[in-house]
Amino acid sequence: MSKINTELLSDPIQTIPLKKFSFYKSRWRFLAISLVLILCGLAFSLIFGITLDIQFRGGSLLSYTISGDIDLLEAERVAESTLNLPVSVQQTTSIQAEGGKQVNALVISVAGNRALSNDQQLQLNDVLGKAFPESRPELLQSTLVDPFIGREVLFNGLLALGIASILIVLYVWIRFRTISGASAGVFSLLCLLHDVIISFFVFVAMRQPLDETVIAVVLSILGWSVNDTIVIFDRIRENEQLYGKDKTLPELVDLSIKQSLSRTIITSVCTFLAVFIAYIFAVVYNIKSIRIFALPLMVGIVVGSYSSICLATPFWAMWKIRRSKQAAD
- Please state the pTM of the whole predicted model: 0.76
- Delimit the domains of the chain by residue range: 24-51+149-327, 59-145
37: CB partners within 8 A, 6+ apart: 198, 201, 303
What pLDDT does residue 1 have? 41
The CATH code of the domain at 24-51+149-327 is: 1.20.1640.10
Q: 105 by DSSP, 3-state: which?
A: strand
Half-sphere exposure of 56 (CA within 13 A, CB side): 16
DSSP annotation string for 216-255:
HHHHHHHHHHHHHHHHHHHHHHHHHHHHGGGS-HHHHHHH
Contacts of 70 (CB under 8 A, 6+ apart): 91, 104, 106, 132, 135, 137
Tell me what pLDDT residue 18 has. Answer: 66
Are 185 and 172 in contact by the 8 Å Cβ rule? The answer is yes
Q: Which residues contact 142 (CB under 8 A, 6 or more apart)?
A: 60, 61, 62, 63, 115, 116, 121
Instruction: Judge whether 24-51+149-327 and 59-145 match in fold.
Output: no
Are the C-beta atoms of residues 192 and 222 closer than 8 Å to each other? Answer: yes
**Residue 310 and residue 294: Cα distance in Å, rounded?**
24
pLDDT of residue 113: 65
CATH number among 3.60.20.30, 3.30.70.3220, 3.10.129.10, 3.30.750.24, domain 59-145: 3.30.70.3220
pLDDT at site 53: 74
Per-residue confidence in pLDDT tens, the chain, 329 aa = 444 444 444 454 444 456 678 999 999 999 999 999 999 999 988 888 887 777 777 778 888 988 878 888 898 899 989 988 878 888 877 666 566 677 788 888 887 666 788 888 889 989 998 999 888 888 888 887 776 666 777 788 788 888 988 888 888 888 887 777 688 888 988 999 999 999 999 888 887 778 788 888 888 888 888 888 999 999 998 999 898 888 899 999 999 999 999 889 999 999 999 999 999 998 887 777 888 899 999 999 999 999 999 999 999 999 999 988 887 76
For residue 144, the SS3 value is strand
